[in-house]
């Protein structure tokens, strides 16, 4: 699934989709890798083909830039500066800016501003929120700041952009706001994957995904449902839309809406797994709504069944989670407990062994103190080393957390029985591969072993 190419026209200052009806002279056209790269060079989006809506995963050969992009997509630069971002990935701010210019075509700060401006444009088009509400939902500090950035990016003010939208597009009913975002053909497969691993009380999955969340300090509910053309309809029932830009980013991460084309290209030629990848080139490892939450779920799930892990996690939520004040349908009753709640709470009697209780408590305490960082800037080997320093956490746990919670593309829980069974089936063996055999086989899949794992898991579940 390759993104649609973009082209910038130097004589008009506009960038378009390659399929746009405009036909400029070839000598005036410059290829652009992404909307943000075009906008950083001073081009504005075509109003006819809405080229700003092209979703492109940033392709980069630099793991540091990839980690920085992940942090930006999590809203890191909404709360920190470029120097802090650079420090997270081990560079000076000058070095990181230079790398971004080379790999992305724009500085980190411009990428962050573009992220907020594009989200504001979507809200202007698709909702009836006021300009003020949109400014804060998009991560801006003020309406004035949004006006300036949106005008820089789109050459129109927010009011002018809203006036150009199609009528009756907005959807805000019964306190819920619905947005349609780009998804992928994998949405229903991800739903099936999440259904088996839903945390009762916090999540419910049937033909849609529902969960409790905390937004701007207030509990709320988010729903995600597959829509036409592989899109996702996201409905937020929230007291405040102040962090909506980050909530939508979490949905995209959870449903893996931006698979890396380079992963599919590389794995598609592999003699062992290539047939699976060519069949589903849009498949990627499902992510997570919250890094701490999924890490706890994974730690609890060590060496027990998926259903058993769900039961124990539900008991944890009922005991230490925060009850939702209003009674909701579909069994959504609590928000997930915080690191401090678990570190200091009573874990006895919910089904954990004493050793697992201690592992969970020490992990939560580490996250609460900051000694186990959840921001996402660590390299894979640094993250797994940090996690495996805790008693009771081994490579399976650390690599699964790295893959699902942090999006590390080369994470690979080689001891997983499901992976070993799927690999055996793929290679016509009657018994599951050993961890060593699968580890050796997976060397050919570097640096995209997490994507390979996703293909094996979904093939095994088919």
Number of Cα atoms under 13 Å in the Cβ half of residue 163: 5
Is residue 376 within 8 A of residue 401, CB to CB? The reply is: no
How many H helices and E strands in the chain?
22, 12
Name the helix (H) or strand (E) containing 232.
strand 232-237
- Distances, alpha carbon 368 to alpha carbons 74, 75, 316, in Å: 19, 20, 17
| Distance (Å, whole) CA 263 – CA 40 | 27
Closest C-alpha among 22, 25, 50 to residue 35:
50
Q: Find the catalytic residue in 16, 20, 46, 49.
A: 16
| Distance (Å, whole) CA 191 – CA 203 | 12
Going by their DSSP bridges, the two strands 14-17 and 44-45 should be labelled as: parallel
Closest C-alpha among 456, 404, 402 to residue 433:
456
| Distance (Å, whole) CA 185 – CA 283 | 8
For the chain, how many residues are written?
462
- Distances, alpha carbon 13 to alpha carbons 5, 16, 237, in Å: 17, 10, 40
Is residue 14 within 8 A of residue 46, CB to CB? The reply is: yes
Clarify whether 16 is annotated catalytic: yes
Whole-number CA gyration radius for the chain: 22
Place of tokens 């769900």: 310
Q: Find the catalytic residue in 247, 290, 410, 416.
A: 416
Is residue 216 within 8 A of residue 284, CB to CB? The reply is: no
Mind telling me the catalytic residues? Answer: 16, 416
């Amino acid at each position: 699934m390759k993104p649609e190419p973009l082209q910038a026209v130097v004589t008009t200052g506009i960038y378009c989709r390659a399929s746009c009806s405009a036909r400029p002279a070839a000598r005036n056209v410059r290829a652009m890798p992404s909307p943000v790269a075009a906008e950083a060079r001073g081009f504005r989006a075509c109003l006819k083909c809405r080229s700003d809506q092209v979703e492109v995963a940033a392709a980069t050969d630099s793991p540091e830039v990839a980690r920085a992009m992940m942090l930006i997509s999590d809203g890191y630069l909404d709360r920190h500066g470029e120097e802090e971002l650079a420090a997270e990935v081990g560079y000076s701010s000058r070095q990181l800016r230079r790398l971004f210019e080379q790999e992305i075509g724009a500085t980190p700060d411009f990428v962050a501003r573009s992220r907020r401006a594009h989200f504001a444009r979507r809200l202007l088009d698709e909702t009836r929120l006021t300009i003020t509400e949109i400014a804060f939902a998009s991560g801006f500090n003020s309406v004035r700041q949004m006006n300036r950035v949106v005008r820089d990016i789109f050459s129109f003010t927010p009011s002018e952009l809203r006036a150009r939208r199609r009528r009756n597009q907005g959807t805000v009913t019964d306190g819920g706001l619905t947005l349609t975002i780009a998804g992928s053909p994998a949405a229903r497969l991800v739903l099936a994957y999440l259904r088996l691993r839903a945390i009762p009380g916090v999540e419910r999955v049937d033909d849609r995904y529902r969960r409790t969340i905390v937004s701007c300090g207030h509990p709320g509910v988010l729903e995600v449902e597959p829509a036409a053309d592989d899109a996702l309809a996201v409905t937020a029932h929230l007291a405040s839309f102040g962090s909506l830009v980050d909530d939508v980013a979490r949905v995209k991460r959870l449903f893996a809406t931006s698979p890396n084309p380079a992963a599919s290209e590389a794995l598609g030629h592999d003699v062992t797994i290539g047939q699976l990848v060519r069949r589903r080139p849009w498949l990627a490892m499902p992510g997570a709504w919250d890094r701490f939450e999924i890490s706890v779920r994974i730690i609890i799930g060590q060496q027990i069944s998926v259903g058993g892990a769900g039961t124990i996690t539900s008991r944890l939520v009922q005991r230490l989670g925060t009850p939702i004040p209003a009674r909701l349908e579909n069994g959504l009753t609590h928000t997930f407990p915080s690191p401090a709640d678990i570190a200091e709470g009573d874990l006895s009697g919910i089904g954990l062994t004493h050793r697992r209780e201690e592992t969970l408590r020490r992990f939560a305490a580490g996250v609460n103190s900051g000694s186990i960082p959840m921001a996402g800037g660590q390299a894979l080997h640094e993250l797994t080393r940090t996690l495996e320093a805790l008693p009771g956490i081994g490579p399976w746990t650390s690599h699964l957390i790295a893959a699902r919670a942090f999006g590390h593309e080369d994470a690979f829980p080689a001891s997983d029985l499901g992976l070993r069974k799927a690999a055996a089936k793929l290679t016509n063996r009657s018994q599951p591969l050993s961890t060593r055999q699968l580890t050796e086989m997976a060397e050919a899949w570097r640096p995209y072993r997490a994507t390979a794992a996703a293909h094996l898991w979904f093939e095994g579940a088919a």
